Copies of this chain bind each other. A is one copy, B any other.
């Protein structure tokens, strides 16, 4: 039977989503989840596919994963049993039987990420774990930079070297900065994301927002399709995978 789970995690103490090479001692979300499922399945190890391969330190409120179990189990019992075994920084928010052919990554039609950025001169210690920090950004310039990302572009300039994508063309359907006092809450939605794309695009907002680049220079850097001209990515701790959408399931 095929199952689909919605996951939340605090990425701080994970080396990202993806299972590392055999023998690696790195703690990954996929590895910890597969361990728990194996205990549930009496030691039988099954592979788990995740919708987004979040980097080390990136959080999730709505990551989606799927896997196959040999025997049927009530989804609510599955959720409770997994949560009883999972560590405090990873939990199952929802479990359901998945339709035939469903794949957490391949069936996804869009993903929504949120980046939280404190812009006050001193960042509060209680915010460090879940927000980046870049003092004195100009909201008008940030908004102008965010508009540049909207639409279908070749995002080769923000594609990290380690990525495996065949094409670097992606469609950004939402790119919205919002402010709560001195905190920037930036939401970006796209059909798919290249490796480190979300953090690199936030790096672009920061560079323009503090005046290191003009909006036009950022536009040129995007058109150049060259990673070397792009500002540094924002730190992982401010980024959260908020939601994954599946057309057939809405």
Contacts and interface: CB of A to CB of B under 8 A. Distances in A.
A128 B88 contact: yes
Contacts of A240: 126
Contacts of A10: 125-126, 128-129
Contacts of A216: none
A28 to B, nearest CB: 15
- Secondary structure call for the A interface: mixed
A122 interface: yes
A78 interface: no
A122 B92 CA distance: 9
B126 A8 contact: yes
Contact of A122 (B93, B122, B128, B130): B93
Interface string A65-108: 00000000000000000010000111111000000000000000
Nearest to A240: B126
A96 B173 CA distance: 48
